Amino acid sequence: MILFPAIDLKDGQCVRLKLGDMDQATVYNPDPAAQARAFEDQGFEWLHVVDLNGAFAGETVNGAAVDAILEATRNPVQLGGGIRTLEHIENWLSRGLARVILGTVAVRDPALVIEACAKFPGKVAVGIDAKGGKVAVEGWAEASELGVIELAKKFEGAGVSAIIYTDIDRDGILTGINWDSTLELADAVSIPVIASGGLASMDDIRRMVEPDARKLEGAISGRALYDGRIDPEEALTLIRAARKA
């Protein structure tokens, strides 16, 4: 059970979007590396980073900011956004990432994901972003006809280290995680699931450590941390107690 603080990168800055809309970005820290250090100092054990520009461009755009983050923190870092080829994956892992997150390519070319898992065991996660129950791609700009569980099942037994499941309809608006659909996905596959999108308050943290949710690998928090709606010390204390239970 891990609480992943999120750093979303747009134009080299740490931002949060509302409902995945690049035109509704709030800058929280112009120095992402400093933000990474702050999260480590608060006691977080992992870092979730997304290259938002890269997700739309289909290639790395905020590489310099990611490199600065990797230099600034000792915590393992997972990165998504614009990672679409084996070369992209190998390049980022060689630069110190703990794991890459493959989203659009998981829909467009699932065979590449399976190949990457074999080549880089334990280093590949799949990002499944859903709107209205259907998987969205290209930085959430395009909808597909794939259902969430349908896509996830394609990777059973492939060695995917985790599925990061985001409910776009809740992302960045502090309405709470969609626990029903997240736990339904976790029940449907053996791959560990990380909840993302909408984590709003300490109530979500308390829900996260309930017995039925402990099957999750954890959850990602962005805006609620930046806005002070979640107290890091209290949240991490609850999570560590749940690990021992």
Q: Which residues are annotated as catalytic?
A: 8, 129
The amino acid that residue 33 corresponds to is A
The residue type of 132 is: G
Q: Find the largest Cα–Cα distance for the chain.
A: 44
- Residues constituting the chain: 245
Buried b (16+ CB within 10 A) or exposed e, 189-213: bebbbbbbbbbbeeebbebbbeeeb
**Three-class secondary structure assignment of 11-50:** CCEEEEEECCEEEEEEEEECCHHHHHHHHHHCCCCCEEEE
